[in-house]
Structure 1
């Protein structure tokens, strides 16, 4: 009788182990978004201040309208449906294509990082599972993100890596490679995490390699081995959420 009970327990343990399937990349992102509460941005206007500008992200039936308003000049940049319009004293300013591109890239970048990890559900996102990695004594799911050219924005060739805590799915680190301005790598560590109206926001320590490197996938180890130097702090202030009614029928 004892023999049969033992066999039953072994089979139960094996069955339980088999049922604990590894999370796929999309499931990790879904859990990270759930932790962050960022789906609330789809029905609320987000306002915040970053350095010398006030920012506003307004959900619409055709995506987000992003704004950047100068604190020192009467200038407002509006990015909507991939096009940037600059206003000065409420009048449209005609911009050269290269200048408009530069402003568009800048406005989109600030809003993109503020909305993470929600933006990892964009259609242009292509996820690659890089397994797990330990940073500062904690274990993380490590995902790489590429973008398709169609819908991937002006920086679709950039590559990102995100680290999500295996326990609570918080996004504690991110890194990216970029091509513009001779290219390079950046690594960000989340700091000053706080919750505003049920949505998690965080600031970042922004690092760069001490020596020139193109190995983005090794940058977590570079951080661990003190091969990165602090470049700047990314601090967002005066965060506010305002309900937005949408009727898209």
Structure 2
């Protein structure tokens, strides 16, 4: 660990150099989505817990897998701990997220024109870059033991909070324990943790059904450094022009104001793209 003198000297050298362009903080991890990185003051950060909330089917897993691929392409090692699917199913979703080929096409083997080349390209990307997938521990205590292990990568994605076994006590209390454990590990291990989580209430009855900070489960609103909420309009409106509409809301950030950005989610493939890249 650097001393206070070393830290302050490094900070000034990075920001106040007269003959070179100021550099971003070295502990930032890009999400790979430029418009989202801007809202997050550069991206995810080591030592911080980010909680990503949304309704069922809103695209939480798709968003987290998209971030995992793009962060890995940028050179960051990524570990995905999957609660909600098998390791094979998670890799299948990674392939669809990178290739844009639908999960139905992959499962049935009925591929549209050009899909074969897209799948080969996606597989090549995923083989070359540092993404690891493991089946996540099923209890809060065993999850903590896994995260306390040495040599964790820069970014750990936990998908998701709702699938962790709940002991015979209130769900909110059990979820709060997981969130506190994840935050402690992020700080102690100096890694970024992204945890997907369900809404704490049924937002389909709310108008409009966009996520708010009060929808964050457990102690996420107070403990997490960043809370993001995803909103997929097609869940509530079947109009053709909203089929791929996908909003990411910054509900809490210790260093940036709350706002949102429009992304695009490819129906069927779960591939999330930044509109400014199109």
TM-score by length of 1: 0.35
Largest Rg, 1 or 2:
1
TM-score by length of 2: 0.32
**Structure whose residues are more often strand by fraction:** 1
